[in-house]
Structure formats: C-alpha cells, structure tokens
Structure 1
Amino acid sequence: MIAYVRLPYFAISLAYRDEPSMTGPLVLGGYAWQAGQVYAMSQTPEQAGVRAGMALRQAQALCPDARFLPADDARCRQLFEQIADAFATYTPYTEPEPALQHAGCYLDLRAGDARQMARMLHCQIEVQFGVHLRIGLAATKHAAKIAAASATHDPIHLIPPGQEAAALAPLPLATLPLDAETVRQLHLLGIYTVGQFAALKGGAVLGRFGKTVYTVHRLALGQDPRPVAPYHYKQSEQAGCSFDDPLDNRQVVETTLHQLSQTLAQRLDPRHLIARSLALDVHFEDRTRGHAATTLREPSADPRRLGAALADLFSRIAVESRIDELHVTATDLVPPVARQLSLFDSGETQRTRLQEVLGHLAVRHGASFYRSTVVEAFPYLPERRVRWSALEAV
C-alpha cells in the first residue's frame, strides 16, 4: 500500500501557527503595495482566483479583504525537509514532493499495516510540527494522491486495491496531469470526467494526443507502475536547548548561542564537514516563534564564526516575550576544500588579490569608496603626499 501525505496550504498553515492571533484570508509574497508576486494563499483568496506567481496588486483586487505578508521561502523549505526526515523514519522509500500550496510526500507502507502506520504518522507529525495532514492510501501513487485530496471528514482516506479506476471515474479532468490545451480538446469531444477519458481506446489516445497523454490515460484506468523512490537525507546538523525559567537577558542568550555554536562545531568535526547555511529558531513564552536564516560567505565549522553568525541572526528577530527554547540548524554541509599555500608568493599574485579585494569593495560601496595614491614621497606639505580618488575612477 502506498500513502500520500498531503500538507494542505503548507506555507499558510505555518504563518497561522507562528501567529495564533492572526485570522482571516492571507496572501504571502509581500505587502499589497509592493511590486512582488504571490507565493502562497489561503483558501478564500484561492477561491477568489488568486494564484501563485500573480502580481500582488492583482491579488489585492481579487481579494481586497486578504492580509498580505512577506514569505519566508527558506524557512518553509527547511521545515518541509525536517518533516520529510520524520517521514523517512517510517520507511526508507519516502519521496518528497515540495510545492508552494499543497506540499506532500509519497511513502511505501507495504512492509506493515498501512492504516495503523498512517494513524501513527498523522499523530506524530501534527504534534511535533504543528501542521495539518491529509493521508491517502491506495495501491498506486496517483490514486493515493487523489485519495489524500479527497480526505475531508476523516484525515485518512483509503481506496481499496482494485477499485482505483472506479474511485477516479467521477472526478473532473482537472485531477489528471493534463495541459490546458489537451483538456480543451477533450472538452470539445464531450469528455469532462476521468471515467469518460478512461473509456477511450488506448490506441486512439496514443495516435491523437501522443505518448505523454497516453501515459495519463493509463493513470485514468488506475494503472500506475511508478515506484516510490528511496529517500536521500540532506546533510544537516542541529543543536538546541530549553530553559526551565524563560530568558529575558540578552547577554545570557548570546552566551547560550556561543555554546550552541561550539556544540555544532564538535558534531561537524568528526564528520569532516563544514556548513554553508545556518538557521536559528526561537520559541517564546507566549507560544510565538521567531526564525532567521543566512548563507555564510565561506562555509565554516569554526565555532567563533558560527557564534558570530548566530548572534547576527538573533539580532534580526523581534523579541517581544521571554525565551523558552533556542534551536540552531547547520545545513548544506560539505567537505572542506584544501588550498595549497605558496611559500614564495610573488608580487604579481599579491597585486592580483588586491585588485580582487578592491573590486569587491567597489561593488559594495560604489563611488563612496576612495583609494589613496602616492604623488610625492617627500612633499613640502604633508597633504600633498597622496591623492584621493574614487575607486571607479582608478
């Protein structure tokens, strides 16, 4: 039995979870007056016609009552990866399917009682991560995904083996992975449901629409030979701590972050890995959460650099309550790359490196960065010894 675990409105559910007082329709991607695009939306804006990638101003015109907030794509992806890791503890055949609106994951549960495992998984993930799940069970991947989308009253919906085609038949063509032009042509032929599409001869579908649509026709018949791919863990390392008495002293927090950076470094050292990215999660006493993430300019496992980066991340988080827990995550772990040092560095190499540094400074500071050039070694007046000019003019 294959399970499809659906995370409906994943990014939106995280926003509601982190700010329990927030209610009403929500659109993520930026503020309504900004020139950005929609990242994700709740059910009400979606029903009003708002779609991912749409301009924010257009989304506001379609759903003026919605609240618009910036999206944190890195955080959503990080949490989804953590949830996928939790899924993989049930079966090594776990295939994540990240998406902006409704993320999901396939799991091969044929090694045990699929329904019982689904119940256990549902309880664990909802309690651990605070997100809602819908689980579909079927003999094939496509049928399991449809079952998860059909789970409304009961969070777990089962399509018995052998009844995949009958369960799919009354559904509209939109439930199949068909492009808009193919759907339009099928509508012209009077075909509006999956069952009507499945009733067509396979050879006729292949000759009229090609191999891709023929593959979808097999899905409509309940035939889906695709296996669930084995799971590949992403390299990451975590450290955290909780406090019996919530913290309200910034100095103690920074000391704790430094200790967590040392813990990360000690865990990375025996694995011979260095971190490219760091994330900090802060759990407050009022049950709200703060999150910040960054990509290091150079990958590192140095506790001093990690500690400085964590302190910078903490400064980005608005602290409006005492702190209950601190969690740090090092991701994008890679092995260090050795660099051969020269015993006799030539002046030309030093000059090249200097030009590279000056180029980086020019990009960062533009015309506000100045460089001094010696004009006279022993001038009559000291101010005539050097000439200052903008870097771009050098």
Structure 2
Amino acid sequence: MLCHVPVVFLKTAACDNLCGMSQPVRRIIHIDMDAFYASVEQRDNPALKGHPVAVGRSQERGVVAAASYEARTFGVRSAMPSVVARRKCPHLIFVPPRFDVYRAVSAQIHAIFARYTPLIQPLSLDEAYLDVTNPLLPRPSATAIAQEIRAAIKEETGLTASAGISYNKFLAKLASDYRKPDGQFVIPPGAGEAFVAELPVGTFHGIGPATAARMNALGIHTGADLRRQPLPLLIRHFGKAAPFYHGIARGEDLRPVEVNRPRKSIGKETTFQNDLHHTPELHNALGLLADSVWMACTKRHLSGRTVTLKLRYSDFTQLTRSKSFTDPVQNRGQLEETAVLMLSPLLPLVRGVRLLGITVSSLDAPNAAAQETQLSLLAGL
C-alpha cells in the first residue's frame, strides 16, 4: 500500500471541474475489488470469515492465486509458491478456485459499471478502468460516481471494492491502492507530478521488477529521479517504453480507456534473487511459472497457440524460444511440458540463469473440450 506522500490534495471536486480550461478534464476511475477470489470464498462460506485464506493448490508445486487480507498480514501474496505461503502462515486455509463463480460475480460488477458509462476497459475479472468524463447518469463528480458504484457492488454482491479517481489511467490505478481495502482516493489535476515524486518506481504500474532493477542500477529510485532523466537517455536504456516512463514521471498519461481491447499475450517472468545453475532448479521454476500463467489464462477464459520461453543469463545475455501449435494449448501440463522441451537444448548450463519467463500468445478462446479440461483440472487444484 502506498504511503507517506508529501502532497496536499485539493477537494475532490477539483478533479472534475477546472475553471478557465478550454477542454474538459478527463475523469477516470479505476475500480479494484478487494482480495476478490478470497473474498468470494469467505462470502460463500462464513466459516472462513476472519481466517487467513488462500485460493489455490496447497501441494508442493502449487501457487497462491489470491490471499485474504488476514493472510496478507503474514506476508502471503498472490503468485507466491504454496510451500512458501504455508511457511509464512502455518494455519493458512487453502480452498480450490471456482472460476465459474468468479466470472459470474465479475459479470454482476461489470453490469453495475455499465449503468454509468459505456467506456469500460476490463483488466481482469476484478478490476477495470472507467471513463466517466461524460457519464450516462448526471452526477456532480467522478468521486460521487465511484462512491455509488462501490455501494452498489456491496449491496448486490456482498463484496467490497476500492477506487482511484484521477485525470488519467496511470494515476487512477495508483490512487486505487491508496485507501485499500474498501476505500477510495482522488489525485486531482495539478497534483499528479508531486504525487509520484517520492514513490518508488517499482510501485508504478507498467514498471515491473526487472525494469525497476535496471532503473535502480542507473540511480533511478523514485518518480523524482525518473523525472530528472532526459528522454534520450531513457530511450537508450528502455527503448520504445521510454516516452511512457518520461510521461508518468510527470503525472502524464494520454492512453484512452479502450473498450474491448484485445489482449495479445499472457505471460509471467521471474528474476531470481540468486542465479540458478542446476536443471532441477530450472524445472521447478518452470513449473511455478506454468502454474501462474495457466491460472491467468483460465481466469480470462483464454488460451493460445504459441508458447514462448524467455531466459536471461547472469551476464544479461537473453534468449527466447517459441513453439506454435495448430490448436490452443489445452492444459497446464502441456504448457509446462512445452517450456521444458524448449529449455532442453540449452542444457547443461554454461552460466547461471537470472531470469525465466513463459508467455502464451496468439490468444483465442479454447474449444469446448479444452474448456472442460480446464475446469476439471481446476476442480482438482
């Protein structure tokens, strides 16, 4: 959770009306459900309320898909290996995921969004951007709309949501983390640059752990540090992503809320604290990555025909290998097996491995048989 930001904020109405401006300020809301999967399980099984809950597999190679706030106090997080989660919280309660239920609840929530705007960009089952610059219902502010949406979600689903309100997507997403759970926060026009100045770059949406580490190595630790870097330097080190980084350091983000935005790929990569040198370590890491990627595929009801393995050595030399199929990948086992087969020609290792990643692309909804396979596998998690 973000904290200790030395900014004095204006009243929330400032986010909606600026006198003297020729064009209306965009009003963007980011809605993020609170511990969505775990909260659904606690709602449907009152015996779980107040207890640390993890949705996922409890087996040795399982991965936590979601953790309740009670579990998070012990350091349990989504995408964490189940063995690590159990070590952090010995009395952690694992429950199998029920993606059909999560999808149904998500549909309820998106129906609530649609009462206020047609400009909705889902990011996953439990979060979305809404552009309410011109809302369907007359309301005095984006703040009021966010409050109504959160109240409707609570009344109609029994779940809580947090909201961030600002004049662009980047700041709205940052703001939604600021009052979690069951809260909302506004970053009004003129406050964005100051808001991000003291935040670690690793907290910025769009800057992952690997990029944050590269920035840190260049002496870029905060938004203020990033703002001081000239664009040519950022381009030299970060390529086509540099203009985006240059903008967000100033609280600027011109990306529109994209309705029905097609997703191009689903992937996950891990940078290891210590380089991996042995084949069993690599196979175990690929298994955990396959768990995480397949869980994300199933969550979005998508699969893909191309699997890509990414490997970065200790000297930062990087290799990618891809394999394409006629039909979408059918299950998690096929995903892991494909990644292992692509890794095999690179063994034995000539140097340590600092990063591994698996990506599924050429996305499509799997056929009915594949859907049945997915659901049966998930039922056994």
Could you tell me which residue of structure 1 aligns to residue 275 of structure 2?
none
Is residue 105 from structure 1 mapped to residue 128 from structure 2 by the alignment?
yes
Q: Which amino acid aligns with 2:116?
A: Y
Provide Cα deviations, 1:152-211, integer angstroms capped at 9, x if missing partner. Answer: 598221111122111111211122222333222222233221221122112211122211
Maintained 8 Å contact 2:162/2:181: no
Maintained 8 Å contact 2:202/2:208: no
Is residue 206 from structure 1 mapped to residue 268 from structure 2 by the alignment?
no
Residue identity over aligned pairs, in percent, reads 29
Q: Which amino acid aligns with 1:196?
A: D
Could you tell me which residue of structure 2 aligns to residue 249 of structure 1?
none
Maintained 8 Å contact 1:141/1:226: yes
Distance in 2 of aligned mates of 1:33 and 1:184: 31
Scaled by the length of structure 1, what TM-score is found?
A: 0.54
> 1:26 aligned to 15, 37, 53, which one?
53
Gaps of 5+ in 2: 1-26, 136-140, 262-300, 302-364, 366-381
> 1:186 aligned to 197, 200, 215, which one?
215
Q: What's the offset of the Cα at 1:91?
A: 0.3
Q: What's the offset of the Cα at 1:55?
A: 3.7
Q: Secondary structure at the match of 1:134?
A: strand
Structure having greater relative contact order (Cα 8 Å, sep ≥ 6): 2
Could you tell me which residue of structure 1 aligns to residue 143 of structure 2?
115
Instruction: From the superposition, tell whether residues 231 and 178 of structure 1 become closer, same or farther in structure 2 (CA, over 3 Å).
Output: closer
Q: Which amino acid aligns with 2:219?
A: G
Could you tell me which residue of structure 1 aligns to residue 103 of structure 2?
77
Distance in 1 of aligned mates of 2:38 and 2:46: 12
- When structure 1 is superposed on structure 2, of 72-81 and 84-93 the one drifting more is 72-81
Maintained 8 Å contact 1:173/1:183: yes
Q: Which amino acid aligns with 1:163?
A: A
> 2:256 aligned to 227, 238, 249, which one?
227
Is residue 136 from structure 1 mapped to residue 159 from structure 2 by the alignment?
no
Alignment of 1:217-256 (within 5 A): 217-230=246-259
The CA RMSD measured in Å over matched residues stands at 2.6
Instruction: From the superposition, tell whether residues 227 and 187 of structure 1 become closer, same or farther in structure 2 (CA, over 3 Å).
Output: same
Could you tell me which residue of structure 2 aligns to residue 4 of structure 1?
30
Provide Cα deviations, 1:23-50, integer angstroms capped at 9, x if missing partner. Answer: 22111113x3575332211235445454
Is residue 127 from structure 1 mapped to residue 155 from structure 2 by the alignment?
yes
Q: Which amino acid aligns with 1:123?
A: A
Is residue 149 from structure 1 mapped to residue 177 from structure 2 by the alignment?
yes
Instruction: From the superposition, tell whether residues 214 and 80 of structure 1 become closer, same or farther in structure 2 (CA, over 3 Å).
Output: same
Q: What's the offset of the Cα at 1:7?
A: 0.8
Instruction: From the superposition, tell whether residues 189 and 123 of structure 1 become closer, same or farther in structure 2 (CA, over 3 Å).
Output: same
Maintained 8 Å contact 1:165/1:220: yes
Gaps of 5+ in 1: 233-276, 278-331, 333-394
Q: Secondary structure at the match of 2:122?
A: strand
Q: What's the offset of the Cα at 1:231?
A: 5.7
Maintained 8 Å contact 1:88/1:231: no
Q: Secondary structure at the match of 1:61?
A: helix
Provide Cα deviations, 1:78-100, integer angstroms capped at 9, x if missing partner. Answer: 2112211221121010111116x
Q: Secondary structure at the match of 2:103?
A: helix
Distance in 2 of aligned mates of 1:156 and 1:53: 25
Distance in 2 of aligned mates of 1:153 and 1:33: 29
Aligned residue pairs, count: 231
Distance in 2 of aligned mates of 1:9 and 1:134: 10
Could you tell me which residue of structure 2 aligns to residue 215 of structure 1?
244
Q: What's the offset of the Cα at 1:20?
A: 2.2
Q: What's the offset of the Cα at 1:226?
A: 0.9
Instruction: From the superposition, tell whether residues 217 and 46 of structure 1 become closer, same or farther in structure 2 (CA, over 3 Å).
Output: farther
Q: What's the offset of the Cα at 1:76?
A: 1.0
